[in-house]
Chain A
Amino acid sequence: MKREIIINKFVIKFANVNGTGSASANKLFSKAIFRMGIPISPKNIFPSNIQGLPTWYEVRVNENGYLGRRGGIDIMVGINPQSMERDIGELEQGGYFIYDSTKPLSEDLMRHDIDVIGIPFTQHCREMYDDERKRQLFRNVMYVGSLAALLDMDMEVIKELIREQFRGKEKLIEPNFEALQKGYDIAKALPNCPIAYRVEKRDKVKDKILMDGNEACGLGAVYGGASVSAWYPITPSTSVIDNFNKYCRKFRTDPETGKKNYAIVQAEDELAAIGMVIGAAWNGARSFTATSGPGISLMNEFLGLAYFAEIPTVLVNVQRSGPSTGMPTRTQQSDILTCAYASHGDTKQVCLYPSTPKECFEHTAQAFDLAERLQTPIMILSDLDLGMNDTMSEPLKWDDSKEYDRGKVLTEEDLENMDERFGRYLDVDGDGIGYRTYPGTHPTKGSFFTRGTSKDEYAIYTESGEKYVENMQRLLHKWRTASELVPQPKIRKTDKPCTVGVIYYGTSEASTLEALTHLYRLHRVSLDSLGIKAFPFSDQIGQFIEEHDYVFVVEQNRDAQMRSLLINEYDLDPERLVPVLHYDGSPITARYIRHEIRDWILQTSTLPQRHRY
């Protein structure tokens, strides 16, 4: 039977054992496709373990530039016997199962609606190498070679990547080439090579980059001028600090003295980490921490202090599946409420929701300006999917003429010329934001006492209910100021008037926008969309909801947390917001969103009742 050839549009998944060096081979494969000018979105699905458990790497290849997960697998590369039953079951009809046939597939696993291609990689490696570690490592390179033949890829691109990888260790290049070529030759000799899925060179990548969100956040902190960082290791946020460290070492080490223009403290726990950040920020340094859900829980008390005492604090939360330890290596958007209202008492915390590496970079850099301008914690809510997976993105940009906004800080000279009494929490400008002084500024003026207890405008302790209310109202006023300074929503309107909308945020963006394209293409359903970029919500978000009869809210948690936040903040009728929820720990797929919205629209004969107040 002659099969239709599908070029540059497929999903391939690798099933490996963790700790066997497969990650770099898989990355080599996906990077080669990227270099051939075709957009890719790789996703690592890994266990909370160092060695010996199943791990997967899923790559969507799509020349149209759809970067969300599509749903379904076309090609499975089965290298792990432990997970083979599950892996083979996951394939779409007509898919390919390419596996290590050193031990042939048992009959009862065989599916007849797919093509099975067995290549005895392990056996070949046993013959070629004596050393056990070499057998394991080169087997990975070998299957990349085979895939190059089966998908009809450009071997020269892969070789160039190997050359780049081993720059400085040239001795390793040739053995890698050898394993690669061996894999290529074995597959090339197979009767069904190349298969129906092919990779052809395109020019669809342009100047885009492939970077993970954590590296972009780490870079954002370098460019945003963070000089103090304190943290406690936690998956999936650790590489934010690793990258901050890497780029600081490169750019912030004094070439003459070798001394560091930065300080990174690995704290004893998350409580101490955020305490150090607050101490440093209080003392005038831009400082930040990175953490994930359990760390956020621990940091809650201090976040309340930073809110109430008004200390600029930057925190990157790379969310993972909760509650509790949850699924620590799986993604979710499930800290929305706990961050928005972090800490006891009445609090509202500024949160930013980046969707791409470029936004991770920009939001993190901007967070320091916002924190110092607003004198309050700023939380960047990334997640494991964005933070730890290479994601195609617009290149990062910086404007050299940009100066940091250090907010309202009085200098020694300001204080010297000041006749009136300094009041730390006086709303002099009517925007709810007072003037700060750094410790050590002036011998007799401008000192004040920072405290988590109630205080008056002059930072003097008070238990007066009236003063307390005044202060809390001023904090609300500052909150309104914040809503105009934070990143504004991204609104896309269809060309026709439209009664239904979709709201998404963070990593639900790519899959949602793709789903909308297909909904129109397949079902002629067009929907307006809005991407939330920050809390406090800008007026535009309320307006968008107001303009539509009902609005889907796409998110990756069980309890529709953003929907709750919208309902709570706008006092909305809950029926107007329809939840689209995905929370099994894998990134949400375009297919899932499309089906959910399609089914809802088709099932809903009458529109939800719209209550007016």
Chain B
Amino acid sequence: MSYKIPTFRHPNLPKNDLGFTSKDYEGAVSTLCAGCGHDSISAAIIEACFEMSIPPHRVAKLSGIGCSSKTPTYFLGNSHGFNSVHGRMPSVATGANMANRDLLYIGVSGDGDTASIGMGQFIHAVRRNVNMVYICENNGVYGLTKGQDSATTDMGSISKKGEPNPLEPIDLCAISLQLGASFVANSFSGDKKQLIPIIKAAILHQGFAFINVISPCVTFNNVPGSTKGYDYIRQHMASTNTVDFVPPADEITTEYDPGTSEQVTMHDGSVINLHKIDDELDIHVRRSALKRIKDYKMEDKVLTGVLFIDEESKEVHETMNTTDVPLRSLTEKELCPGAASLEDINNLHR
């Protein structure tokens, strides 16, 4: 059961531009297992929102069912949350986004919730380019039902049950790229330095921003032989780039050597700096990202970082040409055509 966090905080906690401290972005205490990767991701979300001075109530957090989907309770306690049904968060988030295009939507899901029961909805949310951040907390195992293999478990990976997984995994980053996702990143829950700026970039992205975060399950899939355990990921993780984030008002002061850094300007004028580690990856070319994912896999490595970004993409409201204000704010005046029009319609049916 969730309980309240002690209210005492250090009186000199730093405040952000809105005057909030990081405490204002926290949620209830987590009930997940100690050491769960998911808690690190929650912390990264809190940190990203705090640093970006996002008003907590302007965020809506949504999830499906599973360990990962429990986490929205554990961050942004001043935001509305919606823990929906298994695998169906994308549709609820799409509908919510239709009603009010002005909020920030953060969807949290897991590998079962996304790659198995929710695959259909995930794919179509990508395809529509719903303006949201979609974080898949990927641990390659069904935690809440105690240790079954999931669709992202690597072939041959051995879970706590001791059976090697006989099936090919679904690579969610690759699939998102193929489906035309406009922002795709891969990261690791244990790498806060990489994850926080990726989340910030995803928040700024207009359109569907997909972040696959490898998030070890300490209880069921953190054993030797597992490819989603802490040891394995730490040994096999390779970064394509590191990211830092410059808010719109700030001046870019650091100079980078040409060829090693790339600046991507987001729609609100802020800039993300990508420090290239891998020269071969062009993050504006979908095929390049797909190729590099495969190359690294061949070398038994997991490629992390921002893999692809299309900052010109059109999010769903633009393709649908809906009005600029939230649809939910419309009243009888805009919505109801009135009695005289109805009488005209009657006349056409006489």
Contact = CB atoms under 8 A, between A and B. Distances in A.
Nearest to A268: B124
A203 to B, nearest CB: 13
B100 A283 contact: yes
A261 B101 CA distance: 13
Interface stretch (B162-170, B257-265, B281-289, B320-328): B320-328
A440 B124 contact: no
A223 B82 contact: no
A305 B337 contact: no
B121 A275 contact: yes
B321 A283 contact: no
Interface in A273-291: 273-287
B193 interface: no
Interface in B37-95: 55-58, 60, 62, 72-73, 77-85, 88, 90-95
Contacts of B103: 283, 439-440
Assign chain A's interface to a size class: 35 or more
Given A228-B98, A404-B332, A450-B82, A441 B57 contact: yes
Contacts of B338: 398, 400
A267 interface: yes
A131 interface: no
Contact of A450 (B24, B83, B350): B83
A305 B84 contact: yes
A116 interface: no
Contact of B321 (A227, A228, A260, A278): A260
B315 to A, nearest CB: 13
A462 B321 contact: no
Contact of B95 (A257, A261, A287): A287
Contacts of A280: 95-96, 98-99, 327-328
B335 interface: yes
A543 interface: no
B120 interface: yes
Q: Output the residue of B93, B97, B337 with the most chain A CB within 10 A.
A: B337
Q: Output the residue of B24, B82, B326, B342 with the most chain A CB within 10 A.
A: B82
Interface string A397-411: 111101110000000
Q: Output the residue of A209, A275, A302, A451 with the most chain B CB within 10 A.
A: A275
A230 B97 CA distance: 13
B345 A396 contact: yes
A438 interface: yes
Nearest to B103: A440
Interface stretch (A94-102, A246-254, A564-572, A586-594): A246-254
Interface in B229-288: none
Q: Output the residue of A250, A301, A305, A440 with the most chain B CB within 10 A.
A: A440
A129 interface: no
A20 to B, nearest CB: 26
B124 A272 contact: yes
B336 A223 contact: yes
Nearest to A451: B83
B334 interface: yes
Contact of A439 (B83, B94, B96): B96
A543 B262 CA distance: 77
A402 B90 CA distance: 35
A250 B348 CA distance: 14
A258 B57 contact: no
A378 interface: no
B95 A275 contact: yes
A271 interface: yes
A210 B80 CA distance: 46
A323 interface: no
A190 interface: no
Contact of A283 (B99, B120, B123, B337): B99
Nearest to A406: B331
B326 to A, nearest CB: 8
A275 B323 contact: no
Contacts of A271: 88, 91, 120-121
A283 B336 contact: no
Contacts of B7: none
A256 to B, nearest CB: 11
Contacts of A205: 350
B12 interface: no
A265 interface: yes
Contact of B99 (A223, A273, A287, A444): A287
Nearest to B124: A268
Contacts of A448: 80-81
A230 B335 CA distance: 17
A240 B334 CA distance: 21
A223 B342 contact: yes
A313 B320 CA distance: 23
A247 B337 contact: yes
Interface in B305-350: 317, 320-324, 326-328, 330-332, 334-339, 341-343, 345-346, 349-350
A396 B341 CA distance: 11
B79 A439 contact: yes
B100 A284 contact: yes
A211 interface: yes
A145 B163 CA distance: 78
A277 B128 CA distance: 16
Contact of A284 (B78, B99, B335): B99
A521 interface: no
A34 to B, nearest CB: 8
Contacts of B335: 222, 225-227, 252, 261, 286
Q: Output the residue of B62, B77, B91 with the most chain A CB within 10 A.
A: B91
Contacts of A403: 332
A263 interface: yes
B334 A276 contact: no
A463 interface: yes
Given A278-B92, A440-B60, A272 B120 contact: yes
B1 interface: yes
Q: Output the residue of B58, B85, B317 with the most chain A CB within 10 A.
A: B85
Contacts of A269: 120
A438 B90 CA distance: 19
B78 A285 contact: no
A447 B77 contact: yes
B2 interface: yes
B171 interface: no
B349 A209 contact: yes
Contact of A223 (B320, B331, B337): B337
A439 to B, nearest CB: 4
B92 A276 contact: yes
B102 interface: yes
Interface in A196-239: 205, 207-211, 219, 222-223, 225-228, 230
A448 B79 CA distance: 7
A449 interface: yes
Contacts of B92: 275-276, 278-279, 282
A89 interface: no
Contact of A279 (B1, B55, B96, B326): B96
Contacts of B320: 260, 263
A211 B327 contact: no
Nearest to A403: B332
A102 B331 CA distance: 61
Nearest to A262: B327
A453 B64 CA distance: 12
B55 A443 contact: yes
Interface string A443-479: 1100111111100000011110000000000000000
A207 B342 CA distance: 14
Contacts of B349: 209-211
B87 to A, nearest CB: 9
Interface in B143-172: none
A442 interface: yes
B1 A463 contact: yes
The 8 A-B pairs at the shortest CB distance, nearest first, are namely A279-B95, A275-B91, A276-B95, A285-B99, A439-B80, A279-B92, A283-B99, A284-B328
7 contacts: A258-B321, A279-B93, A280-B95, A282-B95, A285-B327, A400-B339, A449-B81
